[in-house]
């Protein structure tokens, strides 16, 4: 491994040349960064497609699991568009599996030099089958809202894991340096708690509303809801959301006053502003599926943004990226 300047790390082949594209990286290069980004993007897209399944009443498009029907692994023409949408979402999981395996292989030789990347990639890989089983349980329980909600919690956790992968791949491992004062870290911790509460109450709100994920007449099954008053849940959901917005304003103003980098806090504020605007609009327009789906994707981006805000409060060893092209 050679260093170009004080903050740039380059992949080097055993013979001293630049690593070729087919060799497993020994240090972070463009392949690692690309795969980290691909992991993050696919996780967010899966939230969107999962929302599409639910909002188009396709949650039981494949009425069983792991097969689509008792006789067929894939959807059949008789199942119509609902079967296509549900099975398509299941297929996208295999895309994630391929990306996760590639990401793990890209960092497997860095277990000692970059252990945080190794374990993040490992955690993502382990979580995928867990997520698949929870998705299967949601089908087998006729879309029980608490099981479906747990499905979203795991997805949000995976977004946080992959966002951390991207940040660490691009910025380097964490150091002991603390870049912000104690009170600012306290506000960051409060912001994380507010995000967690907002997302969890949002899950319960969705599980109380009209979008159950399927037609209640499907196979004579009975679709469950939480039993909570949807209108009350909407108001309860707004409380931590506004608290989150206020805390993020404190982060932005504090960063400006302390002359700290404010990029990530501003990004978080923008995501929250759009999220609140979409949330208010959907509540006042009868929860149209397009806005509800957008709200779900924004929730994933919210988790990713607050993850990076937390990571940015500690020092890093420098940008980890190869400047030299990978030779074919």
DSSP string, 163-217: HHHHHHHHH-SEEEEE-S-HHHHHHHHHHHHHHHHHHHHHHHHHTTSS--SB-TT
Same domain membership, residue 79 and residue 193: no
- Is residue 7's pLDDT more than 50? no
Q: Structurally, how many domains does the chain consist of?
A: 2
- Helical spans, DSSP H, in 7-114: 30-55, 80-107
Tokens 């630049």 correspond to what residue?
18
Distance, CA of 159 to CA of 191 (rounded, Å): 17
pLDDT given at position 40: 97
Token pair of 208 as six digits: 């109380």
Residues making up the chain, counted from first to last? 328
Distance, CA of 231 to CA of 149 (rounded, Å): 18
Same domain membership, residue 185 and residue 154: no
What range defines the domain where residue 259 resides?
A: 180-214+224-312
Distance, CA of 317 to CA of 320 (rounded, Å): 8
CA 205 distance to own-chain centroid: 20
- SS3 state at 123: helix
Distance, CA of 56 to CA of 39 (rounded, Å): 26
Least confident of 38-52, 97-111, 153-167, 309-323: 309-323
Categorize the per-residue pLDDT at 87 as very low, low, confident or very high, splitting at 50, 70 and 90: confident
CA 308 distance to own-chain centroid: 12
Nearest by Cα to 196 from 149, 244, 163, 158: 244
Give a yes or no: residue 236 inside a domain: yes
pLDDT given at position 301: 97
pLDDT given at position 64: 85
pLDDT in tens, 140-179: 888 889 999 999 999 999 999 999 999 999 998 988 888 8
Same domain membership, residue 150 and residue 80: yes
Categorize the per-residue pLDDT at 223 as very low, low, confident or very high, splitting at 50, 70 and 90: low
Same domain membership, residue 155 and residue 205: no
pLDDT given at position 9: 42
Give a yes or no: residue 323 inside a domain: yes
Nearest by Cα to 36 from 109, 157, 121: 121
Give a yes or no: residue 219 inside a domain: no
Give a yes or no: residue 48 inside a domain: yes
Same domain membership, residue 199 and residue 288: yes
pLDDT given at position 328: 39
Same domain membership, residue 163 and residue 199: no
Categorize the per-residue pLDDT at 5 as very low, low, confident or very high, splitting at 50, 70 and 90: very low
- Is residue 220's pLDDT more than 60? no
What are the backbone angles phi and psi of residue 77, rounded to the nearest 5°?
Answer: -55, -35
- Is residue 325's pLDDT more than 90? no
Instruction: State the pTM of this model.
Output: 0.86
- Is residue 244's pLDDT more than 60? yes
Token pair of 279 as six digits: 């949330």
Q: Residue range 191-206: average pLDDT?
A: 95
Vertex 247 angle, CA 162 and 281, to 5°? 80
């Amino acid at each position: 491994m050679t260093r170009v300047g004080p903050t740039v790390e380059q992949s080097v082949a055993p013979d001293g040349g630049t690593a070729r594209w087919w060799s497993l990286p020994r240090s972070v290069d463009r392949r690692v960064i690309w795969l980290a980004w691909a992991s993050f993007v696919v996780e967010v897209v899966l939230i969107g497609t999962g929302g599409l399944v639910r909002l188009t009443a396709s949650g039981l498009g494949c009425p069983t699991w792991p097969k689509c029907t008792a006789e067929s692994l894939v959807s059949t023409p008789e199942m119509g568009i609902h079967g296509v949408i549900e099975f398509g979402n299941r297929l996208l999981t295999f895309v994630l599996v391929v990306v996760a395996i590639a990401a793990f292989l890209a960092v497997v030789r860095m277990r000692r030099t970059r252990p945080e990347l190794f374990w993040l990639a490992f955690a993502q890989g382990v979580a995928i089958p867990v997520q698949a089983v929870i998705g299967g349980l949601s089908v087998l329980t006729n879309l029980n809202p608490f099981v479906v909600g747990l499905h979203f919690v795991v997805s949000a956790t995976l977004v946080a894991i992959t966002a951390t992968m991207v940040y660490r791949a691009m910025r380097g491992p964490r150091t002991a340096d603390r870049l912000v004062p104690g009170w600012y870290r306290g506000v960051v911790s409060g912001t994380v708690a507010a995000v967690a509460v907002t997302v969890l109450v949002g899950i319960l709100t969705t599980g109380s509303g009209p979008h159950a994920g399927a037609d209640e007449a499907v196979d004579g099954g009975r679709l469950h809801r939480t039993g909570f008053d949807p209108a009350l849940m909407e108001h309860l959901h707004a409380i931590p959301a506004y608290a989150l917005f206020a805390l993020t304003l404190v982060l932005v103003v504090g960063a400006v006053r302390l002359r700290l980098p404010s990029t990530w806090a501003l990004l978080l504020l923008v995501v929250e502003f759009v999220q609140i605007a979409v949330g208010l609009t959907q509540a006042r327009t009868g929860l149209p599926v397009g806005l509800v789906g957008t709200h779900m994707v924004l929730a994933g981006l919210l988790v990713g943004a607050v993850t990076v805000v937390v990571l940015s409060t500690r020092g890093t060893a420098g940008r980890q990226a190869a400047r030299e092209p990978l030779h074919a």
